[in-house]
Amino acid sequence: MAFALGRSSSTAILASRSLSSPSPTHFVPLLSLTPAHGNGKKSFGSIRIQGKKERPLVQCNVAAEINTVEQAANLSKESQRPVYPFAAIVGQDEMKLCLLLNVIDPKIGGVMIMGDRGTGKSTTVRSMVDLLPEIRVVFGDPYNSDPEDPESMGIEVRESLGKGEELSVVMTKINMVDLPLGATEDRVCGTIDIEKALTEGVKAFEPGLLAKANRGILYVDEVNLLDDHLVDVLLDSAASGWNTVEREGISISHPARFILIGSGNPEEGELRPQLLDRFGMHAQVGTVRDAELRVKIVEERARFDQNPKEFRESYNAEQEKLQQQISSARTSLSSVQIDHDLKVKISKVCAELNVDGLRGDIVTNRAAKALAALKGRDKVGAEDIATVIPNCLRHRLRKDPLESIDSGLLVIEKFYEVFS
Which positions are annotated as active-site residues?
359
Alpha helices (runs of H) in 241-315, residue ranges in sequence order = 273-276, 291-306, 308-314
CA angle 172, 278, 280 (to 5 degrees): 70
Rounded to an integer, what distance in angstroms lies between the CA atom of residue 210 and that of residue 203? 20
Residues with Cβ < 8 Å from 255, sequence gap 6 or more?
Answer: 143, 145, 151, 152, 153, 154, 214, 215, 241, 242, 243
- The amino acid at residue 251 is S
Cα 299 from Cα 105, distance rounded (Å):
34
DSSP 25-49: -B-----B---SS-TTEEEETTEEE
CA distance to 84, 167, 263, per residue, from 130 (Å):
9, 28, 19
The angle subtended at Cα 143 by Cα 74 and Cα 127, nearest 5°, is 55
Quick one: which of 174, 270, 167, 156 has its CA closest to 217? 174
